[in-house]
Structure 1
């Protein structure tokens, strides 16, 4: 199984503020995320699940929480550790981990790929993507984009693959 992290962060690694994205809607990022994760199962933390910016997959989803008897919508399973979440996912070719900060931190050592959108700006934040050793990965895709009438910020899509 390929374990892929997928996130958008600003130039200071910010990924969230008050359980929402810290920047205005960036449609190109959402379109890219939906394209890349289509048909794949997803793992997310409880706060990401509760976010108004939540994504989910029709293929299946697992929410990681320490809260016993946590209730979710139909199509979501619950696990109390990343290891149990990965077991619940089953035998798949690729799983996407959507965050948040703590889930990214504990899953980063297992990551085979990292799909990052870099939003070219700095924003008020209380959640950050963890630092990682870039030399452990190779960049297999790097696409720069300029702000336009629908996307208010310059942004870059980068895909890292573990060496």
Structure 2
């Protein structure tokens, strides 16, 4: 599979090799399955891709996420940029992480439901390390139970800890 070498090369900063593999993928018309997250609110499903700005509440979602990001950093959260597999500056890596689809779905859930309501998000791929860590901090700050069903298991974060015990 061509995707594994991309991740391996990118993790160690071999960007020219990443480019070669991506070109080979393009030549062979291999398409990577996009990561997406969704949440159901009032019987309506809201779907997000990374960096999504197409939602009618996009401005509110991104504004809320910005405020939330500052609060979780004050609580000790440090973005884990080791898993941003693109050759960009550190600041851009942090921005890329803040726009992950799961964080967008969680933010919509928080701003669209009454305080205390559990947030339930679904993810078509495995949860990334940074999102897992951020969701735990978010659950503590907003005092909500945040349940995420990814491709491997359920994660139920509450008061800053996850049901998986940080093993997934």
Give TM-score scaled by structure 2 length: 0.30
- Flag the structure with larger Rg: 2
The structure in which a higher percent of residues are strand is 1
Q: Which has the higher contact order (CA 8 A, sep 6+)?
A: 1
The structure in which a higher percent of residues are helix is 2
Give TM-score scaled by structure 1 length: 0.31
